[in-house]
Structure 1
Amino acid sequence: MKAAYIEQPGPPESIHYGDLPKPSPVRKQVLIRVGAVSVNPIDTYLRAGTVSMALPRPYILGCDVAGTVEAVGPDVTRFRPGERVWGSNQGLLGRQGTFAEYALADEEWLYPTPYEVADREAAAIALVGITAHLGLFRDARLQAGETLYVHGGSGGVGSCVVQMAKIVGARVITSAGSPEKAELCRQLGADEVVMYREEDEAETLRRLAPNGIHVWFETLLQQNFEMIVPLLAPRGRIVVMAGRQSKPSFPVGPFYVKDCKMFGFAMFNAPPVEQQHCATDINRWLSEGKLRAVIGRSFKLHEAAEAHRIQEENTLGGRGDLIGKIVLEP
C-alpha cells in the first residue's frame, strides 16, 4: 500500500511517500480502507521530534481517519466489513498513524460515520471536534445562557467550539484576523467577533461582556492570563489545550477570589469511553446539520509534506492564512 511516513523525525521534507506492507487486523483491530485523513498540529510536532513519544519505525503520520471497514479482527463486535467509520487518537503513544491507503485502529477508537457525512468531513472534524467537546462539556460544563469566548473561531478547534457552544444555547464571542474569517465565524453562529488586529481585545470584551465571561476557551500557544482573569465572570472557567512551552505569569489573587477554575488537557489522554461520548454527540449534530467541518485546504496523500509545511507555518510561524482544517485523500 502507499503511505506517507518518516524513518526518523525531521522537517516536512523528511516525509516519504511510498510502499509499505498492508497491515492485517488482529484481536479487536479494524482495517480501514482510508477515504480521508486530516492534519493536526500534534502531527507536525511528532514528525519534527519536538514532542517526545514512542514511534514505530517506519512511522506513518496522522491521528485522524475516515473510511470504510475492509476487514476486522476476530474479537471485533461493533463493526463489519463495508461499514463506514471515522476516528482519531491514532499515531500516538506507539500506535501507527493513518496517512496511508489502509490503516489499523482498535475498535474502541472508532465511530460509525453518518450516512449524510462525507469521509473528508468526518476526518476533518475528528480530533478537533473531540477536543472541543471535552473542553466545553466534560471540563468547563458550559451551560445555556452563559457567555463563551474562544480565540480563532475560524480555526480547527475554534470553529467546533463556536458551533458546539451555540448548539447548547450559549452566547458566543470569538476573534478573527480578517473580514473573511469574521464572516465565517458569524456563519458558524458567533454572536460577536473581535477583530483583534484592529481592536483592543480586552476593552472590546469588557464592552461586549460587561458581566464577565463564563468560559474562556484558550487556543493560543501563548496565554495572557493577566488579561484573561480580570475578564472572567465570578466562577468563570478557563480551558487550556495548547502551548507546551508556555510559562506565562498568572494573577492568582484575582483568580481565586472570584471562585474561578482552570482546566488543562490533551485530548489523547482521554480514555475511549470519554471520547465515545463526544463522538455520539458529534454524530448526532452532524446528522442534524447543526455541526459542520471547516475545510480550508485539500491535498492528495502524496502531497503530505506540503500539507505539513502549511500547517506548521500557520501553527508556529504565524502565517495566519489557514482557515479550518487541511484534508488529504488517497
Structure 2
Amino acid sequence: MKAILATAPGSTDVLQLRDIPKPELPSAHHLLVKLAAAGVNPVDTKLRAKPVYFPDKLPAILGCDGAGTVEAVGSAVTRFKVGDQVFFCNGGIGDEPGNYAEYTTLHEDYCAKKPVKSGLQDSAALPLVFITAWESLVERVGLQAGQTVLIHAGAGGVGHVAVQLARHLGARVAVTVSDDHKAALARGYGAEKTINYKTQDFVQETLSWTNGQGADVVFDTVGGETFLRSLPAARVYGKVVSLLSTPLSLADTQLARVRNLSLCYDLMLAPQAMGLHDDRIRQRKILEQAAALVDAGKLTVHVSHRLPMEQAAEAHRMLEAGGTVGKIVLTMG
C-alpha cells in the first residue's frame, strides 16, 4: 500500500511517499480499515519536527484522525462488520501507525460508526477536535446553560467545533479571531460576540460583554501570552482551560489565586500515549456523541482544504504558516 512516512525529525521534506506492506490484524479484536481520508492536526507537525513519543521508531506514519470502510475484522470483533463506515482518533503518535496511508488497523473499542449525514472526508476531520472540545468544556469545566465562555481562535480547528458545542450546551459564546472572514464564520456557528485580537483588547472586550464580571469560562487553544492574559478575562471563581502548557510566574499564580480561578488542562492524546484502555473507550463514546450531534443537524466541521495524501507536506506547511480556518484533510484515492 502507499503511505506517507516521516523518515526523520525535521522539516516537511522528511515526509516521503512510500510503498509498504498492507498491515495485518494484530489481534482478534482489531479491524482493518481502508482509509478514505485522514485529518491533519497541529500535533502532526510537531511530531514530524520532534517525534517525542517515538524517537527510535522512525520511519513512522503520522496522523491521528481517520475515516474509512472496514475491510476485515478479527475473530473476536463484535461491534463492526465488513463494509461499515467508521471514524476514529488512533495511531500516529507512537506504537500504532497513523492514518496518512491507504490502510490502517485499530482495536474495535476505539472506533465509532461515522455520522450518517457526514461523508468520510468530513468525518475524518472531526475526532481529535471534537474530543478535545468535549473534554475541555464538558469534562474539565462543566460548562452550563446560561454561562458565558470566551473561546480563543474561534474559527480554528478546535475553536469552531467548541463554539458549536458550547451553543449546544446553552452557553453564550464570545470568540477571538484575526479577521472579518473568521468573525463571520464564528458568528455562523453561534458566537454572540467576536473580538479581533489584532485590533481589540480581548480582556476589555470580554469584561464589557459580561458587564464587568468576566467570562465564566475561558477556553485557551493558543497558549503563551494569550493564556496569561486570559486570567483577568475570567470572572472571580471562574475557570480557565488550556490545551497547552504555559509557565506561570509567581505574579500569575497570585492573580489566579486572588481571583479564585480554577486552572485546567486537556491533552486528549494522553490516553493513547499512556495506554489507558478505559479512557480510550470513553473517548470513543464521545465520538458517538459527535455523530449524534452531526446527524441531528447541531454540529458540522468546516473542511477548508482537501488535498491528496501525496501532498501531506503541503498540508503541514499550511498549518505551520498559521491562520488556517477549520480543518485540512488528506484524501486517499
TM-score (norm 2): 0.92
Residues 1:48 and 1:188: Cα distance change in structure 2 (over 3 Å) = same
Structure 1, unpaired ranges of 5+? 315-319
Structure 1 residues 159-238: aligned runs within 5 Å: 159-210=160-211, 211-238=213-240
- Other-structure match for 1:296: 304
The Cα RMSD (Å) is: 1.6
SS in 2 for 1:251: helix
Tell me which moved more, 82-91 or 7-16. Answer: 7-16
Shift of the alpha carbon at 1:295?
A: 0.9
- Across the two proteins, how many residue pairs are aligned to each other? 322
Shift of the alpha carbon at 1:291?
A: 0.5
Q: Does 1:127 align with 2:135?
A: no
CA contact 2:112–2:284 (8 Å) conserved in 1: yes
SS in 2 for 1:35: strand
Specify which of 326, 329, 333 is matched with residue 327 of structure 1: 329
Distance 1:74 1:54 in 2: 33
- Other-structure match for 2:321: 313
Q: Which amino acid aligns with 1:293?
A: V
Query: Per-residue CA shift, 1:256-284, capped at 9, x if unaligned?
Result: 24332111121011421320231122111
Residues 1:55 and 1:168: Cα distance change in structure 2 (over 3 Å) = farther
CA contact 2:220–2:227 (8 Å) conserved in 1: no
- Other-structure match for 1:84: 85
Shift of the alpha carbon at 1:294?
A: 1.1
Residues 1:300 and 1:267: Cα distance change in structure 2 (over 3 Å) = same
Q: Does 1:153 align with 2:161?
A: no
Residues 1:225 and 1:119: Cα distance change in structure 2 (over 3 Å) = closer
TM-score (norm 1): 0.93
Distance 2:3 2:233 in 1: 47
Q: Which amino acid aligns with 2:301?
A: A
Tell me which moved more, 257-266 or 65-74. Answer: 257-266
Q: Does 1:254 align with 2:262?
A: no
Residues 1:233 and 1:46: Cα distance change in structure 2 (over 3 Å) = same
Query: Per-residue CA shift, 1:304-324, capped at 9, x if unaligned?
Result: 11111111222xxxxx2x111
Q: Provide the identity percentage.
A: 34
CA contact 1:89–1:268 (8 Å) conserved in 2: no
- Other-structure match for 1:30: 31
CA contact 2:69–2:84 (8 Å) conserved in 1: yes
Distance 1:181 1:204 in 2: 17
